[in-house]
Every structure is written in C-alpha cells, then in structure tokens.
C-alpha cells in the first residue's frame, strides 16, 4: 500500500514536532547542566552552532550522544528514538542567534596582550601552554562563563582538575597541575611547561590544593569596558571554521 504524499508529509511533520519537544525535555534534564539551557555552553562546549566539530552529521551526533567523549558520559540508557530526538533538538540549537555582547573584540585582544595572558594560554599557535588553549574557546564557553572565569577562576574549574604541591624526599617542592595519577605514581606539569614524574613511595609529601588554580583572579584589575572587551575577544575565538 502506498501512502499519499500529503500523509507522508504529515507524518514527517508530526515526528519533527515530537522529536523537538521530547529532545528538549531530555536535553534540559540531562545535558543542560554542562551545555547550558540554550546550548550556549558552560562546563561543556557550546552547541548553538550550525557546525559541530566532533559531530559533522546526524549519525555522528547520535553516536556521540550514546558513547560520550572525555568528561561527557554516554547516554546508554536512552532508547534509539530518544537519542534521535536529542540529536534533532541539538541541531535546532544551531539556529539560535549568537550572543550580542557589549564589548569590542579588537580592543579586547589588546587587553588580553596587556595583561600577559599569552604567558599561560595559546591562541592560534602563539603563547605558552600552561593554561588551557583558547584558540576555540568561544565555541566551547558562553560569555557568562568566560566572564566568571576571568573574575573568579576557581569557580569554573573543569571536572578532574587538580593543583598540587609535591615535596621530594630531599625537600624540593614542585607546584603544578596534575597531568596523570594512579595508585603508585603522579605526573605534574609546572609553570613553564616542565613535566615531573614521581613515585608516591619516594615523596615526602603530596599536598592537594583543592579549589585552587594557578590562574589569578582579575577581580578589580580588569573592569568595566575593558572586561567587556576581553570577554568579547574570547567569545570571538571560534577556532578553524
């Protein structure tokens, strides 16, 4: 039996409406905590873009949702129809207009340079890599998150981040970011990029600086128009198109 074209079109529209609403509900309950209610990003990357680097097509996006990646857990508990609905909703977020920010990105690049941000961050291959690379930070983080990180960096630490001080048996202390750790060893990267590997049985003290970060707070140091310009500059960094 062949269905009339209008019937097929009606079924497609019904599926689209159902998927949009079902996907929104699942997204808001399980995904928005990291990606933001509107998909503008937070601890997770922004999704309100026409193109997603790790999910160039719908099949890849559905696979990404099911299997997860990095800190993002896989949604193995969802039915295939629910996964498809979430993917449909995520794709719809790409039609959301980009944030309109009050700052000027060009002036913000000068604020970035004047405050020595290149000493810890890389943008387009320039700078040092002790802190996170910022080449595409505007595609991963919302403006509100960027502003909070500038003013209160300890409030936006990524999951699993750990700042430590390791004191060797000889009394030499190394302060840096934990790169890797298991039951017997720990690897640390200090400012300047040098890596150290320690056997825990051989260290005098391993102190975990919970809630601390090597990035200083710029509260009171960058304010007003300069702050808005810097946020606009960071938000403009989208990486490769």
- Tell me the pLDDT tens digit for each residue of 134-161: 998 887 788 999 999 999 999 999 878 9
Beta-carbon count within 10 A of 40 CB: 20
Q: What mean pLDDT do residues 211-230 have? A: 97
Torsion of CA 38, 39, 41, 43, to 10 degrees: 100
Lowest average pLDDT, out of 102-106, 151-155, 190-194, 213-217, goes to 190-194
Work out the end-to-end distance of the chain between its first and last CA atoms, rounded to an integer number of angstroms.
46
Specify the higher pLDDT residue, 50 or 39.
39
Please choose, from the candidates 75, 189, 65, the residue with its C-alpha nearest in 3D space to the C-alpha of residue 129.
189
pLDDT tens per residue, range 47-105: 887 778 788 888 999 999 999 988 889 988 999 988 988 998 898 887 656 688 999 99
Give the pLDDT of residue 139.
Answer: 77
Q: What is the overall mean pLDDT for the chain?
A: 88
In the chain, what are the domains? Answer: 5-93 (1.10.760.10), 105-157+215-235 (1.10.760.10), 163-208 (2.30.30.100)
Is this structure's pTM higher than 0.75?
no
Confidence of residue 193 (pLDDT cuts 50, 70, 90): confident
């Amino acid at each position: 039996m062949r269905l009339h074209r209008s019937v097929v079109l009606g079924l497609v529209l019904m599926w689209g409406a159902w998927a949009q609403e079902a996907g929104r509900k699942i997204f808001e309950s399980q995904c928005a905590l990291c990606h933001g209610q509107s998909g503008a990003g937070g601890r997770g990357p922004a999704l309100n873009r026409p193109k997603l680097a790790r999910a160039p097509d719908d099949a890849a996006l559905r696979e990404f949702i099911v299997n997860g990646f990095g800190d993002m857990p896989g949604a193995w508990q969802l039915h295939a129809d629910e996964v498809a609905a979430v993917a449909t909703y995520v794709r719809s977020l790409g039609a959301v207009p980009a944030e309109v920010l009050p700052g000027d990105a060009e002036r913000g690049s000068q604020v970035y340079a004047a405050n020595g941000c290149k000493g810890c961050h890389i943008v387009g291959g320039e700078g040092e890599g002790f802190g996170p690379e910022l080449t595409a930070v505007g595609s991963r983080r919302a403006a509100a998150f960027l502003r909070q990180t500038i003013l209160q960096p300890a409030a936006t630490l990524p999951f699993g981040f750990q700042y430590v001080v390791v004191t060797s048996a000889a009394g030499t202390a190394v302060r840096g970011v934990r790169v890797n750790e298991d039951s017997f060893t720990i690897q640390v990267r200090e400012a300047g990029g040098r890596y150290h590997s320690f056997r825990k049985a051989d260290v005098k003290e391993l102190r975990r600086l919970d809630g601390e970060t090597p990035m200083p707070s710029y509260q009171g140091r960058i304010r007003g128009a300069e702050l808005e310009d810097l946020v606009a500059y960071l938000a403009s960094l989208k990486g490769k198109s």
